[in-house]
Structure 1
């Protein structure tokens, strides 16, 4: 399987844009207007990220084994309003999430963030925020401590296997799975914290 993600996101304002390719094969190469952007070998997850210069009209072609996939991107001066999610309520749109090159964001996996020392510090801060958001309100019963729960699991019971599973999730996805416990503003605040942590 081979797939260039976000094919509907054609009009892009950034000068250098992130292109994500999914494949279950061991290596993928991305081409922009016939020129190789680079080859990437499979890591822990089947997603390959490329930084592509965004100039004029660009045809992207991904190749992995005998498979190919194609997409188009176009440099524009103004954000295409058709891409804006038009729903009521505090919905976080993908373009509201700052993703500075070389720094983490909520779009990165927990596993990637945990690979750096400063990322581990941010992860601890994030877990404390989660615990606070998930700890039940109300009076404490004498002699009993309240325990925060995530999807039916007590935070105190989370073990290495569960953490290894969570490493594959982006921070944003993990927060969204908590069922509205974090507001859009809180997620953007967490993103700003991660934007200060350099990637490996």
Structure 2
């Protein structure tokens, strides 16, 4: 990890961990487990950075004073987190390419990645790991090339969400790739995760 910065979001200063120093920028968005599973997200960020990207891992839950998301609060706090991430996106760090941007998100972070991409023309690619379909997705701008990775036995975010996101992107005339893993639940197991990571890395190489 290169270091941690603080970036303004409305009246709140949000921590952003940075991995890698130069190159195209990848924003990695945590799931609802947030800071309670920080090591896993830092590992994922470092893997992406090792492929030659500057990876930013925002602690966006800090905008609402949380370390993780409670399911009952997601709807009421979603817009705050989204605006926080938009503010972070508007302040690209030095040494990065501000117009070569991708967003990778896990679960809640996957939904936020899609929402961001539907509002920002700077985002060139999205990788959605088992995210839910956010409200208003079809009403936003056409999504950039998107990779969806989801398990068909996911009981937390049912795979119907992946199919719905796929339909929205196709209806917009956009590019979408999906890999649905048979028998996999929420989070993917060690049997499927290496393939998902390989696909995500290849997708980023193709579109950044």
Q: TM-score, normalised by structure 2?
A: 0.31
Structure possessing the higher relative contact order (Cα contacts under 8 Å, 6 or more residues apart) = 1
